Structure 1
Amino acid sequence: MLAGILTIATNQSYGDGMVSTMADVVRLPKYCWGTQLIRNITNDPVPISKYVEIYGKSYMHLHHFCWGLDFEYRAMRSLNQVERNFRLSQALGNIDYVLTYNRDPHFVFLPEIYTARARILFMQQENSEAVRALQQAIALKPSYVPAVSRLSGYYKFAGDNAKAMQVLKEGLLHSPNSSLLKKRFAALSSGADAQTPTASKPD
């Protein structure tokens, strides 16, 4: 098993995508279907130039984020810890590729990308860096519920209820109708356990 993983590592410097069939594609968000290379599987009829017009030039790099999500999925289902760690590093490498080459501070997918980055970092026990990624997501979009919920959950898990509550209060100011944030707020107020940030599956 380890020899096979090392062979993959030689061929995939930071984790070239393993998405090759529709069974792989259907696990990904629909916006992935029109991205570079993945569109060769889906036969998306919309010209990629149209997506670039809608989302900006950084859409040309978004297939790496989609590959990252696929690697995260594969990591979560790896029975071998060495393989799991390797897949997580591939996921993070692809996500960081998008962030490195993004030149649009208003790229609409950034909050989701930073939140996915945080998920992987939590799984790698890189909690401080994961928190920074969530804070970046929230700074870009204060109403982005997945980031707010995960950050509050982390502080609750870490035993800092005051910070957890503050994150939820600020999140509810921007997303007052979020049933998830209201549920978390009620649970925290009553002293009930909040879900930890490492417990959820890929978005």
Structure 2
Amino acid sequence: MRYLKKIIFIMFMILSLPVNANWKSEIDFSLIPEYCKARYKVGDERSTEIWKKRLGKDFIHIHHYCYGLHLFNAAGRKIESKERKQTLQASLNQMIYTKEHSSPNFALQPKISFDIGRVYEGLEEPGKAMKAYQNSIRLNPKVAPPYAAISKLYLKQNNKKEAVAILKKGLKYNPNSKTLKKHLQKLTKE
């Protein structure tokens, strides 16, 4: 039964890929992190070995996340909403695959959760985005972007009090964050 579930999941992943899956251009690679380039062996072989050591055994799954980032970027360039939504869904599938197949203590889990939240926002699912951002904070409370993202979600709900509170919480963990200070200053001036 497990084997059948794996086959069905793999088929779903393949079918969720956009028709034009050949994306490895210089422009595409300029928009993704260095570890992605290393995973696809773009550049020197030494870089790949360095990132393998830094990210550990979960480096093997990182290409799904990298492709998900590429799709997220590509979705921003799509004009037609149906195509944009399909591209975002494919992005989400790739990121979730990486999250689920990597160890819970994988160094990029907080970043992956944050980016999953961004995709959910693009899909206009703020509740799921909020949960993904909260998970990112739970995994690493010192990183500022999830606090800022949650604050923006609260503002969209006209909940300025909670927007301010989450920024203050973020500043407790990361008191030097320019981003959080800037957002908080803007909200408290209004």
Q: Distance in 2 between matches of 1:19 and 1:54?
A: 25
- Aligned residue for 2:24, secondary structure, equals coil
Give the AA of the match of 2:15. S
- Aligned residue for 1:46, secondary structure, equals helix
Q: Distance in 2 between matches of 1:156 and 1:142?
A: 21
Bigger fraction of residues in helix: 2
1:65-91 alpha-carbon deviations (Å, 9 max, x no partner): 110111011111012222111111110
Decide whether aligned partners of structure 1 residues 11 and 112 sit closer, same or farther in structure 2, where only a CA change above 3 A counts. closer
> Does 1:118 pair with 2:139?
no
RMSD of the alignment, in Å? 2.0
In structure 1, the partner of 2:172 is 173
Q: Distance in 2 between matches of 1:91 and 1:175?
A: 29
Q: How does 1:66-145 map to 2 (within 5 A)?
A: 66-103=66-103, 105-145=104-144
1:175-197 alpha-carbon deviations (Å, 9 max, x no partner): 11111111111111122xxxxxx
- In structure 2, the gaps of 5 or more residues are 1-10
Post-superposition offset of 1:48: 4.1
Decide whether aligned partners of structure 1 residues 174 and 23 sit closer, same or farther in structure 2, where only a CA change above 3 A counts. same
Please tell me whether the aligned partners of residues 18 and 70 of structure 1 are also in contact (alpha carbons under 8 angstroms): no
Give the AA of the match of 2:76. M
Decide whether aligned partners of structure 1 residues 147 and 11 sit closer, same or farther in structure 2, where only a CA change above 3 A counts. closer
Please tell me whether the aligned partners of residues 137 and 143 of structure 2 are also in contact (alpha carbons under 8 angstroms): yes
Q: Distance in 2 between matches of 1:24 and 1:138?
A: 28
Q: Distance in 2 between matches of 1:177 and 1:11?
A: 40
> Does 1:62 pair with 2:66?
no
Decide whether aligned partners of structure 1 residues 57 and 72 sit closer, same or farther in structure 2, where only a CA change above 3 A counts. same
- Aligned residue for 2:46, secondary structure, equals coil
TM-score, scaled to structure 1: 0.81
Q: Distance in 2 between matches of 1:145 and 1:179?
A: 9
Q: Distance in 2 between matches of 1:136 and 1:169?
A: 18
**Higher relative contact order (Cα pairs below 8 Å, separated by 6+ residues):** 1
1:124-148 alpha-carbon deviations (Å, 9 max, x no partner): 1111111000000001111111111
Please tell me whether the aligned partners of residues 35 and 51 of structure 2 are also in contact (alpha carbons under 8 angstroms): no
Please tell me whether the aligned partners of residues 153 and 164 of structure 1 are also in contact (alpha carbons under 8 angstroms): yes
- Aligned residue for 1:56, secondary structure, equals helix
In structure 2, the partner of 1:183 is 182
TM-score, scaled to structure 2: 0.86
1:18-69 alpha-carbon deviations (Å, 9 max, x no partner): 432222211111221111xx21xx1431274543332121111011111011
